[in-house]
Amino acid sequence: MHTHHTLMRRSIGIPKGFLSYSVLRILSRTPMSGSELMEEMEKRTGWRPSPGSIYPYLAKLREGGFVEEVEAEEAGLRRFALTERGKELLNEYEKGREVFGRKFHSIRRMWLKIYREMDEDLYQTSLKLFEAVEGISPYLKGEEAKESAKKVHSILLKTTEEIEELRKRLNTGKGAK
């Protein structure tokens, strides 16, 4: 007989390769320590990897010649930077972004359709919104795109506020008006 624990052995969580890709991507911008990497990932994604994940992974990257320790201004702090070999590894991960994107959309679909029981029309509309934001985000970086980024932010904020207002009315039993 299967127990609940046996059936739930593998839970959906952070996709395989996410930690590796994130560490390489962040280190491609600036050298960081393990604790700084954990903070940066939490700031960007809401997920904070444990020290038991970060430090062994940094050691593995260092042993493989993908990162090197660089001098830090603070005593006792070990910062790491990508080597040329690390940049090549990141490029390999970048080539696999499409696969990661498909996995992400698959997980998102399961979450919304199965757990949240979202109907197909609402799911497709939310998917279009997500893809539109995802598609425009590369164009919203840098000083020259500040106005466009403000416009997208304003649109999303207004939409979010309207949906949240509707949720509150439905929650209090007043219904949609």
Residue-range domains of the chain with CATH = 18-95 (1.10.10.10)
Q: Which residue has the higher pLDDT, 41 or 12?
A: 41
What pLDDT is recorded for position 16?
66
Question: How does pLDDT run across 145-157, given as a tens digit for each residue?
Answer: 999 999 999 999 9
Spatial separation of the C-alpha atoms in residues 105 and 110, rounded to whole Å: 9
pLDDT of 10 strictly over 80: no
**pTM for the complete prediction?**
0.58
Q: Which two tokens stand for residue 41?
A: 């990932």
Question: How does pLDDT run across 36-88, given as a tens digit for each residue?
Answer: 999 999 998 888 899 999 999 999 999 999 999 998 777 778 899 999 999 99
Number of C-beta neighbours around residue 85 at 10 A: 14
Q: Give the pLDDT band of residue 176 (cuts 50, 70, 90).
A: low
**Which of 41, 80, 40 is CA-nearest to residue 61?**
80
Q: What whole-number percentage of the chain has pLDDT above 70?
A: 81
Point out which residues pair with 68 in neighbouring strands.
81
